[in-house]
């Protein structure tokens, strides 16, 4: 019954998105469109053209429309992991395969699902997402929720989501997200290089270094917890050590924040009560990135990288992860 309710809300939410969608060119041409909105949509149109012409990404139906959602996020994703495991629970669907989250079009429904998962003894978290991909099966729009971002994140997200349409391995979120992340990074760097904006490129590179530092910090905590959960000590003692590790993670972040000169962009993430699900969510997007970045360096070009990634996609997941993710998952 709960699975049926989940699918029903997903269908209704997607239909609402389609109902709200208008062609980007029509919104830009509309004299009543505010100048700030017009400028943002013109930027997304240029980014889409750049993705197709310079990054060899699909020229399909995505990002040709604009959807004004009149809410903070497009969807709210629920991620959960058992109390003593860093491996997320998975949900399986016909198109996307098995994924490590469930997306809800209403925040209330997402938080209700988080409570149900927590009641069953899991660590669970809710993350708002400003966009999502249907992998080219539907005309994914530019969401109003995306337009509050700065240029690098906005154009990068368009590259990222179009990369999913280029290659997506059902059931392997870690590989698929890392592939899209590597394409996004290469695309943003080329975007700023081609537009002659050295300061924007420098700012982006600094942000990426902070992102790598953050991922390394989380990876260290996850490895420590994985060792703890395999230790076999009594559950009560394990809970004490688990809480201690999450406290150390927050302490290490404060030291890292000082190294960043006080940059506070990750403060909100660390301010909440953290659990295994939070670490699992970060892992999905970061674990396979270094290996796939090496594949891009070896290929020497994006078309060559796509060919290498497509070859990896044909392997069994254990072999694919051993090759580029550091371990079988």
CA 296 to CA 326: how far, in whole Å? 16
Residue 284's pLDDT band, with cuts at 50, 70 and 90, is confident
Mean pLDDT check: name the lowest of 41-50, 87-96, 177-186, 260-269.
87-96
Mind listing the pLDDT tens digit for each residue in 34-66?
999 999 999 999 999 999 999 999 999 999 999
pLDDT higher than 50, residue 1: no
Phi, psi of 195 (to 5 degrees): -90, 0
% the chain with pLDDT above 70:
96
The dihedral formed by the CA atoms of 251, 256, 258 and 263, expressed in degrees to the nearest 10 = -110
CA 204 to CA 100: how far, in whole Å? 28
Q: At what angle do helices 317-324 and 173-195 cross, to 10 degrees?
A: 40
The model carries a pTM of: 0.92
pLDDT higher than 70, residue 94: no
CA 238 to CA 290: how far, in whole Å? 31
């Amino acid at each position: 019954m709960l699975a049926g309710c989940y699918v029903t809300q997903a269908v209704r939410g997607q239909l609402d998105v389609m109902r709200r969608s208008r062609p980007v060119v029509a919104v830009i041409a509309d004299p009543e469109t505010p100048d700030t909105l017009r400028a943002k949509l013109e930027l997304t149109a240029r980014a889409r053209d750049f993705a197709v012409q310079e990054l060899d990404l699909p020229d399909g139906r995505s990002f040709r429309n604009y959807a004004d959602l009149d809410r903070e996020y497009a969807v709210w994703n629920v991620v959960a992991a058992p109390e003593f495991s860093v491996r997320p629970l998975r949900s399986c669907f016909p198109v996307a395969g098995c994924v490590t989250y469930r997306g809800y079009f209403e925040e209330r429904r997402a938080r209700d699902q988080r409570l149900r998962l927590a009641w069953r003894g899991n660590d669970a978290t809710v993350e708002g997402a400003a966009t999502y991909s249907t992998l080219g099966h539907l005309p994914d729009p530019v969401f109003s929720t995306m337009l509050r971002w700065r240029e690098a994140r906005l154009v990068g997200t368009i590259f990222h989501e179009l990369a999913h349409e280029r290659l997506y391995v059902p059931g392997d979120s870690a590989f698929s997200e890392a592939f899209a992340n590597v394409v996004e990074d290469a695309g943003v760097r080329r975007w700023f290089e081609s537009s002659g904006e050295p300061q924007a490129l420098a700012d982006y590179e600094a942000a990426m270094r902070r992102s790598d530092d953050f991922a390394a910090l989380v990876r260290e905590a996850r490895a420590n917890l994985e060792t703890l959960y395999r230790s076999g000590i009594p559950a009560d003692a394990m809970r004490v050590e688990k809480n201690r590790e999450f406290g150390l993670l927050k302490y290490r972040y404060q030291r890292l924040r000082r190294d960043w000169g006080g940059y506070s962009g990750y403060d909100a993430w660390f301010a909440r009560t953290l659990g295994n699900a939070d670490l699992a969510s970060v892992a999905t997007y970061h674990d396979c990135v270094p290996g796939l970045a090496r594949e891009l360096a070896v290929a020497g070009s994006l078309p060559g990288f796509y060919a290498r990634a497509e070859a990896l996609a044909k392997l069994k997941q254990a072999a694919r992860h051993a090759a580029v993710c550091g371990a079988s998952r």
